[in-house]
Amino acid sequence: MAERLNALFARVRWTDAHGRQREYSTAEVAKAVTADPSHPATLSRSYLAMLRNGSHTNPTLSVLEGLAKFFDDHREPESRPITVQCLVAQEDPEDALLRERLAGHQVWKIAMRAGAMTPAMREQLLKMIETFDQDGTPGTGAGA
């Protein structure tokens, strides 16, 4: 869990007044989780530090919910949602579906090309796909 939690600290950042990307501190996250009235979790800086360094490995569900909510609320808008499952490494059903669909070579090639496109180009591609979906049954193409 420490590895996944530290990965969230590294990935979810804030921008300072000079435009630099900054990592949230352990104290900032603990304070924000405790102050959030949408869940019952309270979290001290020292306990969060122990979760991060692996000396504590079994937080309560409310602590996991509080951490997941904090990081989800502060993630980039187009990034995947952050859930308790992300923290405890349970397989997300969407991940399994994604892996299954990307197993097709043609689907993988399309996904790789789309990933290299600008957001405007991806929007155009999505509109084209929606047009194709209106013309026929989705997912019936050969070789996918």
81-120 pLDDT, tens digit each = 888 888 887 555 666 677 777 787 888 888 888 888 898 9
**Domain over 1-88 is classified CATH 3.90.550.10:** no
**Residue among 43, 40, 12 at smallest CA distance from 30:** 43
Q: Look at residue 115 in the predicted model and tell me its pLDDT.
A: 86
Specify burial of residue 23 (Cβ count, 10 A radius: 0-12, 13-18, 19+): middle
Query: End-to-end alpha-carbon separation of the chain, Å?
Result: 36
Work out the average pLDDT over 119-127. Answer: 90
Q: Residue 86 burial (CB < 10 Å; 0-12/13-18/19+)?
A: buried
Question: What is this structure's pTM?
Answer: 0.62
- At residue 2, what is the residue type? A
* pLDDT tens, residue by residue, 40-86: 889 999 999 999 999 998 899 999 999 999 999 999 887 888 888 88
Domain boundaries, the chain: 1-88, 93-135
Q: How far is CA 116 from the centre of its chain?
A: 20
Rounded Cα distance, 64 and 72, in Å: 12
Higher pLDDT, 17 or 141: 17
